[in-house]
Amino acid sequence: MGLGNIISRRLKVFAIALIIYVDYKAIQKRVRWAKGSKKNTIWEKTHERNARRVLNLMIELEGLWVKLGQYLSTRADVLPEAYISVLKQLQDSLPPHSLKEVCRTIEKELGKSMKDLFSGFVHTPLATASIAQVHRATMQDGREVVVKVQHDGVKEIILEDLKNAKSIVDWIAWAEPQYDFNPMIDEWCKEAPKELDFNHEAENTRTVARNLSQSNSSDPNSVHIMIPEVILSTEKVLILEYMDGIRLNDNESLEAHGVDKQKLVEEITRAYAHQIYIDGFFNGDPHPGNFLVSKVPPHYPILLDFGLTKSISSSMKQALAKMFLASAEGDLVALLAAFSQMGLKLRVDMPQQALEIAKIFFRNSTPAKEATENIKALQDQRERNMKALREKTKLNEKEAQRFNPVDAFPGDAIIFTRVLNLLRGLSSTLNVRIVYLEIMRPFAESTLQGTMMMHEPASSSQWIYDSPIHSDVEAKLRKLLHDIGTDKILGIQVCAYKDGKVIIDTAAGRLGKYDPRPIQPDSLFPVFSVTKGITAGLVHWLVDKKKLRFEETIANIWPNFGNSKKNLIQVNHVLNHTSGLHNAMGDVMKDDPLLMCDWEESLNRISNSTPDTEPGSLQLYHYLSFGWLCGGIIEHASGKKFQQVLEEAIIHPLNIEGEMYIGIPPGIESRLATLTVDMDDIEKVMQQRQNADMPANLTRSDLAQIVAGVPVVFNTLNIRRAIIPAANGHCSARALARYYASLGAAGQIPPPHSSNSKPSLGSHVHIPKLPSITVSKKKKGTNNGTSAQKANSKGYTLVSSNTNKHENDDIDNDIQQKATRIFENQKIHDAFMGTGDFSGLIYPDGKFGLGFRRYRNTDGNLTSFGHSGLGGSTGFCDVENNFAMAVTVNKMSLGGVTRSVVQLVCAELGIPLPDEFSSSGKKGPDMQLTLGSS
């Protein structure tokens, strides 16, 4: 292609683009003064006029522009009818290239004359497309074939057109920032040249045919399609088996042969679901011209043209499957995790809007006659999202229009969305409605479940995360986990410290039932009431800093708490579950469970609650109220926000940033384990419901249904992000074990965690930051931060104090000056367990000390303390033996996995087994729901 032709093509493209742009801008102003039908007529004529301009340009220039026109012609669901009807002419009906050119290319590529190759060659092409044209022929051996021949010089044209298209997209993004198609054109620039090598297409054709033929009729995910056999290929010539079929745009023939168009498009959709989710190798160009329909019943679809075929990694395949299921189920956590896994980065935390946009990709297809309503619905959705964006970012309307909420869009996902749009357009062209969520779901589920099966302990040592073994006992533990297997374990972490050193740090299994990624040392598990032990530690920290006293009445530090007969309740009553507020907010939780996501309202409800028993008179487990009671005490005593105190007291000193949260921040969703229930053990719950130690509203007959429903609630994003200090902690076992190792050493901070644990503990940013919001206007006072807001390189943030700054300086200074200890009180263990000088502050012979479940050994001595959570996660330490241990699980079980793990480790180390984990000892209320036979 000469320089003159290059310049000429470029000028023509930009001239037509400018004419169309100016035309539409002028009509936008003109129709403001028109009314009713006249306005519609003006728009129809405008669409018709500009569609003709586009068609004429594409026919003249051919190359890439024809492919673009073919794509647009399939979007009957979103484009005006004028464009669809006009651009349909580009579906394999371009003016043919000369027979002389075709024969010359064939002979040059194959090195033989036409007579030596074919006994018959039809001069009139079956179809002429952007890159090649196809002729029917008969080989010398009698085989009926089609010969696909690349246009002479098309490679140079395509490459030049890509540059021009890129320039136009850049210009549109500048003129109309809300229409930035750069990620799409960038991916197209990368993939389109691959279509110019027919050897590449031949191999793709063989691969797809092989993949789709491997399914059998008994497989529910089997597909019924036909793909022509590859006979011969070179770079510019491809010879395929001839298949007699009907074109999808030949409606008359489709009806004459009795083709069920609904079943036809459904089977095409199934074929693409199989290619994407099962094979990870799919045709990226499913426009109507690339399909035929067999004339013989049952009229299977015939798939053609595999030039633009995309291969995706196993990780991307899983992410796309997860995104699909998350959209179908409205699972915000899974959606954000899928985004992270596929490399899609957002500049603003708006998960609900992200879900709505994702749902648009998988929405039902609509017939062409509903295009107008569909366009309006999409526009309305866009306006709602734009309004939400302005409210979230505080940008004005002009700034919001120039703001792109996506920071990075992976190329693989771009081709995937292009395929979905083309399939949607295909459905609209044939006037059928396809329910993608039903058709594609089994394939997405099969992908994730199939990957899980591949990593069962029996078939893969990688079921246990590949990390160094720290000790002999860890080697034996890993064998135990392997023996227990996936029947009882979905995902698990175990970490233990002995004499300040890490002796166990093992991770095994998968992040979730539909998340086959491996559990790693830094994976975050929801640990339920294990959170209480962390929250209690914050109260002890404030007492140690002399900001609080155990005997202090809560009303003395918490305004309004003293009403409703609560004026005598002391801090110690809350810590040892004798405040009488064990059922506080119980009715509210039944009527409106999501209220517990509202921190301030929950504190307000707690302050207005009425105790059921006299303070100190009876120990009844504060299953949820414990967290808000302690949380209110912590905030009012410190004058700081709960999460700030958590960071100052525990996270920062122990160097466990990014691995312990009560209320997760945005940006860590990809590391979250997902809860599920061991349904085989549900019946055992019913056997526990009459236990007198259980809270009254946990003993009713529908307890099994409550336990089964817990994962549904606690897997949701709003619950995970809420501050519920009795129930929704998220942590890794290594962070939890380090916490208890410190408590067991009277607050002494252990040496750095094992260097063999990757990634290193404390290496994560604690509060991840989304990419900055960039607008043309200079940003003023980012987030209106105050001088009290500070940050270090780990993302550790101090939240503004609620009281005079000087009142809290001593706490902040202590952290910096005494980083070797959390507590100064050398007898802090007595406070945790309610022994020695603190024995008068607890309920006699009760299960709890001051905030911690206290454990007796086989001799009946109190040597250990900790806290377990519903379903099996636990953390504890043995003071006498300088031992600390944590177990986190995501398959809530009554089957004794945790107990088996603790029993093995204690036996191997010669450490007395805490009664919580023995077969006959007294159990705390959370562990009562996690017991079963070993």
pLDDT in tens, 150-177: 999 888 887 777 777 778 777 776 766 6
CA distance 803 to 52: 70
Helix, strand, or coil (residue 492): strand
Average pLDDT for the chain:
84
Q: Number of C-alpha atoms within 13 angstroms, CB side, residue 64? A: 22
- pLDDT reported for residue 779: 37
- pLDDT reported for residue 25: 83
Block residue for tokens 């009844």: 620
Block residue for tokens 């809350």: 574
CA distance 803 to 214: 69
Block residue for tokens 């801008």: 25
CA dihedral 816, 822, 826, 828 (to 10 degrees): 150
CA distance 311 to 317: 10
CA distance 296 to 300: 8
% of the chain at pLDDT higher than 90: 50
**H-type alpha helices, 63-181:** 64-73, 81-87, 99-110, 114-117, 154-175
Block residue for tokens 């780990």: 794
- pLDDT reported for residue 594: 81
CA distance 534 to 725: 8
Between residues 807 and 431, which one has the greater pLDDT?
431
Angle formed at CA 471 by CA 465 and CA 474, multiple of 5 degrees: 45
- Specify the amino acid at residue 319: A
Least confident of 9-13, 433-437, 596-600, 874-878: 9-13
- pLDDT reported for residue 463: 87
Angle formed at CA 233 by CA 231 and CA 238, multiple of 5 degrees: 80
CA distance 854 to 831: 11
Mean pLDDT of 538-546: 97
Convert 187-207 to b/e letters by CB count within 10 Å (16 or more is b): bbbebbeebbbbebbbebbeb
Least confident of 339-353, 437-451, 918-932: 918-932
Q: What is the DSSP letter of 104?
A: H
- pLDDT reported for residue 470: 95
- pLDDT reported for residue 532: 97
Label the pairing between strands 891-892 and 676-677: parallel
Confidence of residue 703 (pLDDT cuts 50, 70, 90): low
Could you tell me which of 196, 173, 193 has the C-alpha nearest to residue 183?
A: 173
- pLDDT reported for residue 243: 95
Confidence of residue 456 (pLDDT cuts 50, 70, 90): very low
Could you tell me which of 151, 95, 93, 168 has the C-alpha nearest to residue 127?
A: 93
Structure tokens that stand for 701 in this block: 């007959």
- pLDDT reported for residue 774: 57
Structure tokens that stand for 591 in this block: 């009527």
- pLDDT reported for residue 665: 95
Convert 484-497 to b/e letters by CB count within 10 Å (16 or more is b): bebebbbbbbbbbb
Confidence of residue 926 (pLDDT cuts 50, 70, 90): low
Give the largest CA-CA distance in the chain: 107
CA distance 66 to 61: 8
CA distance 852 to 868: 10
CA distance 635 to 548: 11
Mean pLDDT of 550-576: 93
Beta bridge pairs of residue 240: 146, 230
Confidence of residue 934 (pLDDT cuts 50, 70, 90): very low
CB-CB contact of 519 with 452 (8 Å)? no
Sign of CA dihedral 303, 306, 310, 313: positive
pLDDT in tens, 719-766: 999 999 999 999 999 999 999 999 999 999 999 999 988 899 999 999
φ/ψ of residue 234, rounded to 5 = -135, -170
Burial of 770 (0-12, 13-18, 19+ CB in 10 A): middle
Residues near 690 by Cβ (< 8 Å), separated by ≥ 6?
A: 699
- pLDDT reported for residue 375: 72
- Answer whether residue 929 shows pLDDT above 80: no
CA distance 44 to 446: 46
Beta bridge pairs of residue 152: none
Q: Number of C-alpha atoms within 13 angstroms, CB side, residue 652? A: 23
The single residue of 285, 305, 505, 915 carrying the catalytic annotation is 285
Angle between helices 154-175 and 182-191 (to 10 degrees): 170
Between residues 283 and 418, which one has the greater pLDDT?
283
Helix or strand (DSSP H, E) at 233: strand 230-233
Helix, strand, or coil (residue 867): strand
- Other beta carbons within 10 Å of 840: 10
Beta bridge pairs of residue 238: 148, 233
Could you tell me which of 240, 231, 236, 202 has the C-alpha nearest to residue 102?
A: 236
Highest mean pLDDT out of 34-38, 124-128, 217-221:
124-128
Question: Radius of gyration over alpha carbons of the chain, in Å?
Answer: 33
Sign of CA dihedral 175, 181, 187, 190: negative
CB-CB contact of 115 with 241 (8 Å)? no
Between residues 659 and 307, which one has the greater pLDDT?
659
CB-CB contact of 212 with 300 (8 Å)? no
CA distance 73 to 813: 68
CB-CB contact of 795 with 657 (8 Å)? yes
- Answer whether residue 102 shows pLDDT above 80: yes
pLDDT in tens, 211-237: 998 755 567 788 999 999 999 999 999
Confidence of residue 797 (pLDDT cuts 50, 70, 90): very low
Sign of CA dihedral 404, 406, 410, 414: negative
594-to-25, 621, 717, 807, 919 alpha-carbon distances in Å: 47, 22, 11, 35, 37
Active site residue 285: yes
Does the reported pTM lie above 0.85?
A: no
pLDDT in tens, 308-354: 888 999 999 999 999 999 988 889 999 999 999 998 888 888 888 88
Block residue for tokens 């004058």: 639
